[in-house]
Amino acid sequence: MSAANADDAALLAKLAAMFEDDAPDRPITNLLAKVQRYELDDLTLPMTLSDPPDCYICSPTVAYVDYALEETRHFNARPSLKTAIRLLLRLCRPIMQATGLDRQVQPNNWLFSTNPVPDLTPDQAKALRDDLTETYPDRAIVIRSINEMTDASTINALKSAGFALLPARQIYAYDTRKRPKPTIDMKRDAALLATGPYDIVPADDFTDADFNRAADLYAMLYLEKYTPLNPTYTAAFLTQAHRIGLLRIVGLRGADQILDGVVGMFTRGNTMTVPILGYDTSKPQKWGLYRMLNAHAQAEAIETGRFYNMSAGAARFKRYRNAEPMIEYTAVYVRHRGWRQRIATATVRSLLDWIGVPLLRRFGL
């Protein structure tokens, strides 16, 4: 085993231990999946086994139907279109449930909304397919967070192994390899971070109260402002994720010594994501808490030369900071399942290609 794989194995053992059956509380309260370490040849990955109902990161029905219903708030100015989309989504629920994708095994699930995938060769993709279908013949195989900019070779490998690609959402990414010039907004954000009233505090300096506050700040943004369908990360999860090296967490501490913002950065290979971000939404928007948190993350991506996957949402904000839109896919394998599941999956894929993707691109969601 290589040194990198040994490090991953140690990290994943600690991650899985957080979700053992005898743990007193679930670190992600709305996640019911079993969390395991998966090893195959030179691959060492986290893996979840889940059954419905579950959090959207383990349930395509929740992700594609329930979460999408929440996202129709973006069409409030177009009530007729909003009504039509909501009707279509409700009609699609039984089709999505018929795919059987909610009863799944999901390798490379780091328990975040975005999970950068490893580079897979065709032989590795086929070996993974054969191993998981033999071990879990009654489960679909699901791999999330695939995009054409960083994962072209992996996409080809998965296709050669019989995986289908389901469009999932439109994400925004900052490609440091292109060395884009900082925009005016990026310069303003950096200046605000440098001269503003907040100190940047690493999680090494957090107290227990700070981790509790960090969980509250995340909840203010992702669970209260957006939707409770997002993963409910607890203070215990954030604490352990920092201690085992899963996340690099920093906070914005004001003169009153209270955290008003938090950002948690996750890196795999050459890609960095920000699965944890939160701020005190009661503070005036002009204070720029979200701007400063993103500025810190974007500066780190630039400094380290990493591809910054900024995930979905806040489209205009991200475009003004040199982020490019692209469709993210979920790879699924159901060829070992019954004909109903295969037909339903093919139907969902067609609906997403014909209706979902044009909507995402047209409205910049």
Q: What is the pLDDT of residues 25-35, one digit of tens each?
A: 889 999 999 99
Residue 361, pLDDT score: 85
Contact yes or no for 291/192 (Cβ under 8 A): yes
Write out the E strands in the chain.
34-40, 43-50, 104-107, 140-147, 164-174, 199-202, 248-253, 259-268, 271-279, 307-309, 324-333
Cα 42 to Cα 109: distance, rounded to the nearest angstrom: 17
pLDDT band at 3 (very low <50, low <70, confident <90, very high): low
* Percentage of the residues of the chain whose pLDDT score is greater than 70: 98
Mean pLDDT, rounded, for 2-15: 81
Cα 149 to Cα 326: distance, rounded to the nearest angstrom: 8
pLDDT(1) > 60? no
Average pLDDT of the chain, as a whole number:
94
Q: Is the pTM of this model over 0.75?
A: yes
pLDDT band at 141 (very low <50, low <70, confident <90, very high): very high
Q: CB 339: neighbour CB atoms within 10 A?
A: 7
DSSP per-residue letters across 15-72:
HHHTT-TT-SS-SBTT---EEEEEEETTEEEEEEEE-SS--GGG-HHIIIIIHHHHHG
User: Which amino acid, one-letter code, is at 216?
Assistant: D
pLDDT band at 74 (very low <50, low <70, confident <90, very high): confident
Cα 276 to Cα 218: distance, rounded to the nearest angstrom: 7
User: Which single residue is written with the structure tokens 């129709």?
Assistant: 72
202 strand-pairing partners:
250
pLDDT band at 41 (very low <50, low <70, confident <90, very high): confident
Cα 173 to Cα 153: distance, rounded to the nearest angstrom: 18
| Among 55, 58, 56, residue whose Cα is nearest residue 46 | 58
Q: What is the pLDDT of residues 215-272, one digit of tens each?
A: 999 999 999 999 999 999 999 999 999 999 999 999 999 999 999 999 999 999 999 9
Beta pairing class for 324-333 and 307-309 = unpaired
